Structure 1
C-alpha cells in the first residue's frame, strides 16, 4: 500500500478499481486510500475527458 499510495493518479486508480487485495492489515487505512484515489479521479475526470475529445478530433475521429 505504501508504494501505491505514492504513485501516479492513473496507477492508483487502476489499483483501487481493479486491484485485488492480497493482504489487509489495516482496513481503515485501505478505505482512506480508496476514498483519496476516488476524489483524485473525480477531480481529474473533466481534464481527461477534454484530452480524449481533443485527441480524437486531432486524429480525424468523431467525439
Structure 2
C-alpha cells in the first residue's frame, strides 16, 4: 500500500473548502425579510441583495477555480 500524504492533504483541503462554500450558501443568503429588518441594505443600490445572494450561491465555483489554478 502506497500512502500519498500530499494528495490526501490536498483532497481534505478541497473537501473542507467545498463544505465552507456550501455552508456560506446556506447560512449567508439574505432573505427579503432579513434585508428589510437589517437597515444595512437600505443604502445599497437596487439589486444588491440579489447580487450578494448570487455570490453566496456560486461560491463553490470560485473554490473550484481557485483549486484548478493551484500547482
TM-score, L = length of structure 1? 0.38
Larger radius of gyration: 2
TM-score normalised by length of structure 2: 0.35
